[in-house]
Every structure is written in structure tokens, then in C-alpha cells.
Amino acid sequence: MTQMPFQLATLPPEALDILRFFGKTDTTASYPADAIIDGGGMSERAFGKGLRRLINKKMLVMDGESIYKTTDLGRRTIAELIEWDMTAPERGAQAPARHVMRRVFVGTPRVLLSGQPVYLYVGFDEADDDEILSDDVDIVIRLTLIDGVAANTFTVDKAFRLTNYATRQAFEIAGGMYDMLRIRVQVTQPDVTDDESPGMYIDLPVTVDPTLADPSLVAYSTSVMIREG
């Protein structure tokens, strides 16, 4: 099955329906919200969700009170969508998967005390309008610890239910005999065969002097792509 273009895969179905409306009418014209809702066979709620995403993506702009038109980027995206829809019979009836970008945060102590267990936290902030999931998604958080050399490697996986609300998981870690503990955090989806997250690398200082250890947390973050369905 041909993979959906990335620009389209990041849009919710409601946004695609709005783009389809412009594609079958006039991509250079301006239309009131009511005309788009009726012409696209959408509810007001669905229209609002799709509209927010398209405006945030700079594919749609307001051209008066509750009147909207497409941008150059929007028209290019519509052309991609029309081409994609034309090949639908070849791809079969299965709907393309939707992807959203979510921000993952890692909280770690600033300086580890060798041999002293502490907690590391991995979690997600509350989703904003561009990141709303239509349903919860099962993911796996993989934590890999490398103590000085590759031979001293420990990996632990924890199942995680990703929702649209803020949530986190705690992992117990400890510094070893070296003055640095390398940590790799990956977010994977067990049912996505082509998922290969590069992960986030963090190097934490380790000391044997209790007066130099610092348990206060410092935060790191990165974005990960989450597939729905």
C-alpha cells in the first residue's frame, strides 16, 4: 500500500474534508463557514477542529468574518490530496492512518550519587489542539542505561497508555562506577512494524561524593510521531 504523503498524514480527517471541499469547488475563492460545513457534509464541531489545524498549519486564512480562503501552501496540499484520493481504489478500502506529533518530557536528577537508586520520569504534557488523539494509543517507553561502556547496558520496557491528558511513568535508575551514565529514551508502538524511534540521549554526571550529588530534577524534551489506528 502506498504511504500517504507526510503533510497529509499529519492532518485530522476533519481538516482533509475541508480541503476536499475547496478542491471540488475553487481553491482560489473565499467561502463562509456555513458553505464549507454544508458543502463538506460536516458538523460544526468537526469543522472547528479541522479549521484550527489548517489555520495553525498556515493552509487556511480568514478573509473576513467567518470567511476563509486557502494559502499557497493550502493549494499545494489540496493538489496532493486530490492525487492521493484518485489512487484510492488501487489502495483498497482501508483508511490511511493519521499521525500526530506529541512532546515527550524526561525529568532526571542533575547529578547522580553512585550506587544510590533515584527516579527518572518520562511523560507527556496535555495535548493542544494540533495534538488531539481521537482515541487512546498504546505505546512502549524503552529506557536504556549504559554505564561507561557498551558492555554495561541495561534495558527496561514499560507499557504506556497515551491519552490527551498529562501523564507520566517513573523508572528507577542508579549511577554505576563511571562518572557518567548515558540514558536513551525511546517511544515505540508495538503494533507499528515500521516504527523505529531514534530516541533521546541524555548523559548524567555521577559522583561518589554525597556532597556533590544533586537530586533536583532537570527536564529534557523532544517530539515524537504517534500513529493512530
SS3 label, residue 25: coil
User: What is the reported pLDDT for 87?
Assistant: 76
Report helix, strand and coil shares of the chain as percent, to nearest 5.
25, 40, 35
User: What is the reported pLDDT for 2?
Assistant: 57
User: What is the reported pLDDT for 95?
Assistant: 54
Domains and CATH numbers, the chain: 6-91 (1.10.10.10), 99-227 (2.60.40.10)
Query: 36, 81, 75, 82: which is closest to 59 by C-alpha?
Result: 75
The count of other CB atoms within 10 Å of the CB of residue 38 is 11
Q: Which residues of the chain have pLDDT under 70?
A: 1-3, 88-97, 130, 150, 191-198, 229
Tell me the whole-structure pTM to 2 decimals.
0.62
User: What is the reported pLDDT for 93?
Assistant: 46
